[in-house]
Amino acid sequence: MKMLWYAAYGSNVNRTRFLEYIRGGPSRFNRATYPGCRNPQDPIRDYALAISRELYFARMSNAWGGAVAFVRPEASRSQTLGRAYLITEEQFIDVACQENGRRPGDPEMRLHYDYARQHPESHFGPDPARQTGSAPLWYGRVLFLGTRESWPVFTITAEWSGYADINPPARAYLKCIADGIRQLGRISEKALVEYFVPKVGVRDRISRPVLERWLA
């Protein structure tokens, strides 16, 4: 059984939220119900990390009522706060399926484990070097972030290039992320506001006073 670290940076940085993808059932955070992973075992452990990719908010999620988080695929000096979970390869695939509105075990969502750990980016599907289908998946690009304890660290993001359909996130979504960051250690409300203020999708769309109310 192959293991890996899944590095989350959006709502999944909140462990309670992430376990909804693992165990399945109705979400306490949004209007969705999730099928869960074929293997509902909790992550073996997790750790906090900073992802050297730029965080931004785009598209429109019906479940959340606003934009959701993505990271640019290229390395950046911008640091995105995240949490990495030690899970199985199968669970990683099933999480990606649910992130893309597909049933766990979808045969099109194949992870090329060895290829993915040897290349900065790859894709789910029959060919790891290119996207599956004509429409880019929201979370179809796999980014290799390094190795920890001999296991690869992967995150997932959009298959499109650049920014696409920038929109502001809803309060519930940002609050879910902020609470997940708080779970990782002591952080002030001011620091959280400063973290989100400059992000594309938040900048010039959600004022600082509004963010302060949302994250209080």
Mean pLDDT of 89-110: 97
Query: Does this model's pTM top 0.85?
Result: yes
Structure tokens at 116: 């993915």
CA distances from 181 to 8, 16, 99, 123 (A): 11, 12, 20, 28
Structure tokens at 180: 């997940």
Share of the chain above pLDDT 70, in %: 100
Please tell me the predicted confidence (pLDDT) of residue 146.
98
Mean pLDDT of 142-160: 97
Please tell me the predicted confidence (pLDDT) of residue 133.
78
80-88/3-8 β-pairing:
antiparallel
d(CA 138, CA 175): 21
Mean pLDDT of 177-181: 98
Please tell me the predicted confidence (pLDDT) of residue 132.
80
Please tell me the predicted confidence (pLDDT) of residue 199.
98
Residue with tokens 């002591």: 186
Which phi and psi (to 5°) does residue 139 adopt? -135, 60
Q: Is residue 4 classed as helix, strand or coil in its secondary structure? A: strand
Structure tokens at 129: 């070097």
Please tell me the predicted confidence (pLDDT) of residue 52.
98
Q: Is pLDDT at 5 greater than 90 in this prediction?
A: yes
Q: At what angle do helices 189-196 and 171-183 cross, to 10 degrees?
A: 130
Please tell me the predicted confidence (pLDDT) of residue 8.
98
Please tell me the predicted confidence (pLDDT) of residue 32.
95
Structure tokens at 187: 């952080």
Mean pLDDT of 127-140: 91
Structure tokens at 152: 């690869």
Please tell me the predicted confidence (pLDDT) of residue 94.
98
Mean pLDDT of 1-11: 97
d(CA 74, CA 17): 27
Give residue-wise pLDDT tens across range 53-65.
999 999 999 999 9
Q: Is pLDDT at 134 greater than 90 in this prediction?
A: no
Give the count of alpha carbons within 13 A of 157, CB side only: 29
Q: Is pLDDT at 1 greater than 90 in this prediction?
A: no
Please tell me the predicted confidence (pLDDT) of residue 173.
98
Torsion of CA 184, 10, 64, 70, to 10 degrees: 160
Q: What architecture is domain 3-215?
A: Roll (3.10)
Please, which pLDDT band fits residue 11 given cuts at 50, 70 and 90?
very high
Q: Is pLDDT at 9 greater than 90 in this prediction?
A: yes
Structure tokens at 33: 């119900």
